[in-house]
Structures are given as C-alpha cells and as structure tokens.
Chains A and B, each alone.
Chain A
Amino acid sequence: MATLTEAASASARFARRLRLPRLDAPQVSTRALGVAAASTIAFLYLPIVVLIVFSFNDNPVTTLPLRGFTWRWYESAFANADLLRALWNSIHVASSATVLCIVIGVPAAIALDRIEFSGKALFRRAVLLPLVLPGIITGISMLNLFRVIGFDLSLTTVIVGHGTALVSVVITQVFARLQRFNRRLEEASDDLGATPLQTFWLVTLPSIRTAIVGSALLAFTLSFDEIPVTFFLTGRDNTLPMYIYSTLRSGITPEINAIGTIIVVTSLFIIFLSVYLLSDKQEGR
C-alpha cells in the first residue's frame, strides 16, 4: 500500500516538473477514449501473449512466477505421434476444403454478381447463411444426411462439411471485388470478339485474383482451426483441433501451449497476408 502512495506522489511530482499542459474537457475525453481503446486491444492480445510465454516456461503448470526458458514442450510435442498425425490430417483437410471453397465459391460469387435467375434471393440467403449460422447446425444437419444415405464418416465428410460452412467466406470477398470491378473492360473484350470463356480467363479472373487468394488463405486458416463441424463429421481420424479438444478433457499440458503457439503464430502470419490481399489497395490492376 505504502509503495503505491509513494509511486503516485512521485509521478505527480514528475508531472509537475514536466509542466504538462492542463487539459480541457474534449482533450480529457479523447484521452479517456484512447485509454479505453488501448485496453481493449491489450485485452485482445493478452491471451495470445500468455499462450506464447507459457509455451517456453519450464514448469508443467501454467502459474506465475515464470521459472525459466525451455524448449522441452516443443520437443515433446514433436515427439508425439498422435499429435503429428492429427497435424497432418488437418493440413490435408484444410487444403482440400480450401480447393472446394474456391471451386464452389468463385462461380457462386460471379453468379450473384451478374446472372439473373429465379430464386436468386433465396440462393443468396442460403450461401451467406453459414456466416452467422453456428457451426453446430451445419455439423448436425450433414451428419443426418450422411446417415440417411449411408455414407461412413471420415476426413472426406469433414472436408465436405468445411466446404459448406466456409464457402461463404470466399463468396463475400470475391463478390465484393466483382462489385467494384469495371464492367467496361469485359464489354470491350466481348466487342473485340473474345468468347465469354476467354473474357473470363483473360479479363475477369486476373482482376479478382488477389481476392481469391486472400479469401482462400482465410478459408484455409478457418478450416485448419475448425471444431463444431468437425466434431460431428469426423470418423476415426482426428484433426489437430479435435486432438487438442480431446486432450483438454484430461487436463492441460504445456505441450498444447507449444503446438498452440505454432498454430497461432502461423495463423497470424497467414491472416495478415490475407487481409493485405483483400484490402482495397489490391484492387484489380
């Protein structure tokens, strides 16, 4: 307590010596707002920092004070055969699901942008629904479907599930880019005698390429980390999040912090790249 008072009076003295200008009301409110904003950003990154710090802490329990630096948890994570198999499964699932999202999502975005057909409003609602729809509904409904048609659960069903749940990510981003796209370029291509397919490959596609790549990276990360759909659609094989989820039942191990740190750092990198590619500055050139 005493140290706190001392610290307060010391900082007051310091402020007087600096002759800080007295603040008027708007400045105070701006400061308050700044503090609120900074604390919220800190709140968003605190758990990520905790995860990373404790993955290097030489203590099997996540408690303070820190005990010292170690690579031990990374070593044991990479010696864990189940974990590595799950990691490999996740990479397989996420890449296949991403390809699926592109193959379904890009045509869907083009259709929404420029083809008129009956039932378009319903189609738009349906393809965008998974954005706000809890994953568990996609998982349960597809589990029911696979049971009815007698299709065994496996990583393949997980891939189909991820494709369905995440295709809206690709659709929204590509659609947004198409909406800003200058249609004159396509008309010019038509007038010059190009077939629709040629126009698509040579004019439309290059201008939406960064949106496709950006949203593909996003879909990959989301699929890699997906839990609710995977939970219901996976057979005997585990993906990495499912492996982590099931070990959390039996308690926390720093191994999870280690593999978690790798996932978070990789995801951060991929997402920054994706957000950069999706930003307006990248618009078709």
Chain B
Amino acid sequence: MRLKQRRRVFAIGILSGPLLWTLAFMFIPYSIMFAYSFFTRKFPTFVPDFQIGNYITLFADPQYYQVLLRTLKIGVFTTIFSLILAYPLAYFLVFKIRSPRLRTALYIAVIVPLWVSYLLRAYTWKTILGSQGVLNSFLVWTGLLDQPSDLFLYNQFAMVLTLTYIFVPFMVMPIYTALEKIPRSLIDASKDLGVGRIHTFLLVTVPLSLPGILAGATFTFCLTIGDFVAPFLVGGANGAMIATVVQSQFGTALNWPLGSALSIVLLIIVLTIISLSDRVERAGRLDLA
C-alpha cells in the first residue's frame, strides 16, 4: 500500500509541471487566439464580439485567398521537389553503401544542415541568386551572360528552391529510417520470384517506405506553409505567403482579429494534415499486418 502511495506521489510530481505548462502556454493561448478571431477591429485596437466576418474576409477577398492558394501551391511544389531529391539519396545510402560506418557518416552529414541556422541558410540563397550575386557574377564572368539577370531572385521559383533546400534533410530522415527497416529478404524474395528490378522497387520497396514518405511530406508541407523567412528574403513583391500576411496583421496593418483568424486557418490546415497522414499510415500498417 505504501509503495502504491509513493508511486502516486511520484506520478503527480512528474506530471504536474508539463501538464500545467501545456495548459498555460498551449491550450490557453490557442483558446485566446480562437476567441480573438471572432472579435471586431476598431482602429487602433479591437473590441470583443462574436462574428465570422474575419473568416468571410479571408475567403472572399481575393487579396487573402490568393495568398492562401499561393501558399498551398508553394507547399505542394516544395514537398514534391524535396521528395524527388531526398528519395534517391536515402535509397542510395541504405541500399548501395555497404559499409555501415560510411553509411552512418553520410547520413549524419545529410541531416546535420537541418539544424544549422535556418535564417542564414535561407539568406545565403539571396546572396547566391541576387542580381549582384554569386550566380550572376559567375555567369557574366564566364561569358554565358552579357549582363546580370534579375530572373533568379524575388519570385516563386526562388522560394521553392530555398524551401526545398531547407527541407530536403527533413524528408531524408524518415525515408531513410523506413527504408532501413525493410527486411532485405522481402526484396530478395521478390527477385527470386522473377520480378524485375523496377517492379520490385515499385511493388515492394516504395509501398514499404510509404510511412517514411508520408512523415517527410507532412513535416515539409506543414513547415513550408507556415514560413515567413523565405518569402521575406527571396519572395519579392508578389511572394507573400500566409505567415507574411499574419505578420503584417499583427504589425503595420494592426488587425489582430484578422491575423488571429488567419492563424486559426493555418492551425486547422496543419492539424488536418497531421491527422490525415496519421490515419493513412495506420491504414497502411493494418494492410501489412
């Protein structure tokens, strides 16, 4: 009995801190943000209210829904390009590098940039792509261009390039883990049964690595659509994304209710994607069992 009581005290001691923290700094702030999204703006501040005008504005005013659509488009392209770069890399590391030591070393080399200053890595692309930048001066120097081009920077291409660059390691990580878990015997069995290389890849390897692909795509997409650093640095005048607009609503535009409504929309998109990918992954797991 005493041991049980002690355990209970221990459990409460362990749990109360994190629980209170989550309550105070996640649930309550989200609730306030949710409430604000129904408030009415009254320049220079806002008053309590309950109306869905802010949400209507977001989906009716082209200025806002175009930003929403652009953000989703950039998110989709970034996810696709990251996958195209990450999958062959992860596949090569897992199946073609024989030495485990070298494989681990290369894997670490690939994922380490992920944690290195996000701002500086995005900023470097600005110095590379700019009209006075590394790429332009290189092209002019070698004579491939007569004069610097301003085609490289301040457009959606530059944003997708920068974001892809940032999220490739995020994509490699789960795909690598998924590929590593595939029993080699399954692939050998498929080959023994006379299935060709490409078919084995498409029918065995890819489906078994699907959870990794899904996790990587979820990370990449969710973090891309909430980014405001890449649009700020390389996006240019027509490069605003959801987070750029949120930022200006809480800054110069001074419309907190609208900014809160937009944040709630972003939060809902992220939560929907997480639960969708969770469900698909679970369905996939059942399929394999």
A contact residues vs B (CB 8 Å cutoff): 26, 29-30, 33-34, 36-37, 40-41, 43-48, 50-51, 54, 61-65, 103-105, 107-108, 110-111, 115, 117, 123, 126-127, 129, 131-137, 140-145, 148, 160, 163-164, 167, 190, 195-197, 200, 218, 221-222, 224-225, 227-228, 231-232, 241, 244-245, 248, 252, 256-257, 260, 263-264, 267-268, 271-272, 274-275, 279
B226 & A107 in contact (Cβ 8 Å cutoff): no
B59-67, B112-120, B205-213: which one contacts chain A?
A: B112-120
Known contacts A62-B133, A126-B26, A252-B127; decide if A136 and B246 are in contact (CB<8 Å): yes
Query: Which of chain A's residues has its CB closest to B271's CB?
Result: A129
B182-190, B259-267, B281-289: which one contacts chain A?
A: B259-267
- In the complex, which residues of chain A have a beta carbon less than 8 angstroms from the beta carbon of B168? 40, 43-44
B88 & A33 in contact (Cβ 8 Å cutoff): yes
- B225-272 interface with A by 8 A CB criterion: 225-229, 232-233, 243, 246-247, 250, 256, 259-260, 263, 266-267, 270
Can you list 30 pairs linking A and B with CB atoms under 8 Å apart? A26-B197, A41-B106, A43-B85, A44-B110, A54-B127, A62-B133, A64-B137, A108-B18, A115-B15, A123-B22, A126-B27, A132-B222, A132-B270, A133-B267, A134-B222, A134-B243, A137-B263, A140-B33, A141-B32, A144-B29, A145-B28, A145-B29, A196-B10, A197-B10, A267-B116, A268-B116, A271-B112, A271-B116, A272-B108, A274-B115
B119 & A225 in contact (Cβ 8 Å cutoff): yes
- In the complex, which residues of chain B have a beta carbon less than 8 angstroms from the beta carbon of A108? 17-18
- In the complex, which residues of chain B have a beta carbon less than 8 angstroms from the beta carbon of A279? 104
By DSSP majority rule, is chain B's interface helix, strand, loop, or mixed? helix
Looking at B15, B223, B227, which has the most chain A CB atoms within 10 Å of its CB? B15
- In the complex, which residues of chain A have a beta carbon less than 8 angstroms from the beta carbon of B136? 63
How far does the alpha carbon of A48 sit from the alpha carbon of B109 in the complex, in Å? 13
> B187 → chain A, closest Cβ, in Å?
13
A117 & B123 in contact (Cβ 8 Å cutoff): no
A50 & B128 in contact (Cβ 8 Å cutoff): yes
> B86 → chain A, closest Cβ, in Å?
8
How far does the alpha carbon of A127 sit from the alpha carbon of B21 in the complex, in Å? 10
A140 & B250 in contact (Cβ 8 Å cutoff): yes
Query: Which of chain B's residues has its CB closest to A131's CB?
Result: B219
How far does the alpha carbon of A81 sit from the alpha carbon of B206 in the complex, in Å? 54
Interface residue from A40, A137, A148 paired with B89 (Cβ < 8 Å): A40
> B141 → chain A, closest Cβ, in Å?
5
How far does the alpha carbon of A281 sit from the alpha carbon of B35 in the complex, in Å? 48
How far does the alpha carbon of A134 sit from the alpha carbon of B167 in the complex, in Å? 13
- In the complex, which residues of chain A have a beta carbon less than 8 angstroms from the beta carbon of B26? 126, 129, 141, 164
- In the complex, which residues of chain B have a beta carbon less than 8 angstroms from the beta carbon of A133? 222, 226, 267, 270
- The answer, yes or no, to whether B1 is at the interface (CB within 8 Å) is no
How far does the alpha carbon of A74 sit from the alpha carbon of B2 in the complex, in Å? 63
- B1-26 interface with A by 8 A CB criterion: 3, 6-7, 10-11, 14-15, 17-19, 21-22, 25-26
Looking at B115, B121, B267, which has the most chain A CB atoms within 10 Å of its CB? B115
Known contacts A132-B219, A137-B267, A263-B117; decide if A145 and B124 are in contact (CB<8 Å): no
Interface residue from B111, B116, B226 paired with A135 (Cβ < 8 Å): B226
- The answer, yes or no, to whether B157 is at the interface (CB within 8 Å) is no
B92 & A47 in contact (Cβ 8 Å cutoff): no
How far does the alpha carbon of A198 sit from the alpha carbon of B225 in the complex, in Å? 47
- The answer, yes or no, to whether B30 is at the interface (CB within 8 Å) is yes
B117 & A134 in contact (Cβ 8 Å cutoff): no
- In the complex, which residues of chain B have a beta carbon less than 8 angstroms from the beta carbon of A123? 18-19, 22
B123 & A260 in contact (Cβ 8 Å cutoff): yes
B89 & A50 in contact (Cβ 8 Å cutoff): no
> B66 → chain A, closest Cβ, in Å?
19
- In the complex, which residues of chain A have a beta carbon less than 8 angstroms from the beta carbon of B86? 40
Known contacts A44-B110, A136-B263; decide if A264 and B117 are in contact (CB<8 Å): yes
- In the complex, which residues of chain A have a beta carbon less than 8 angstroms from the beta carbon of B51? none
Additional pairs, 11, CB under 8 Å, beyond known A50-B134, A134-B226, A134-B270: A36-B89, A46-B128, A62-B130, A64-B137, A104-B21, A134-B243, A200-B10, A252-B123, A252-B126, A256-B123, A264-B120
B15 & A218 in contact (Cβ 8 Å cutoff): no
> A24 → chain B, closest Cβ, in Å?
12
> B5 → chain A, closest Cβ, in Å?
11
B259 & A140 in contact (Cβ 8 Å cutoff): yes
- In the complex, which residues of chain A have a beta carbon less than 8 angstroms from the beta carbon of B226? 133-137, 228
Digit string of B94-110 for contact with A (CB within 8 Å is 1, else 0)?
00100000001010111
- In the complex, which residues of chain A have a beta carbon less than 8 angstroms from the beta carbon of B19? 123
Looking at B88, B106, B119, which has the most chain A CB atoms within 10 Å of its CB? B119
Looking at B30, B91, B247, which has the most chain A CB atoms within 10 Å of its CB? B30
A145 & B25 in contact (Cβ 8 Å cutoff): yes
B250 & A62 in contact (Cβ 8 Å cutoff): no
How far does the alpha carbon of A263 sit from the alpha carbon of B118 in the complex, in Å? 11
Known contacts A33-B96, A48-B116, A268-B112; decide if A132 and B250 are in contact (CB<8 Å): no
> B170 → chain A, closest Cβ, in Å?
10
- In the complex, which residues of chain B have a beta carbon less than 8 angstroms from the beta carbon of A46? 128
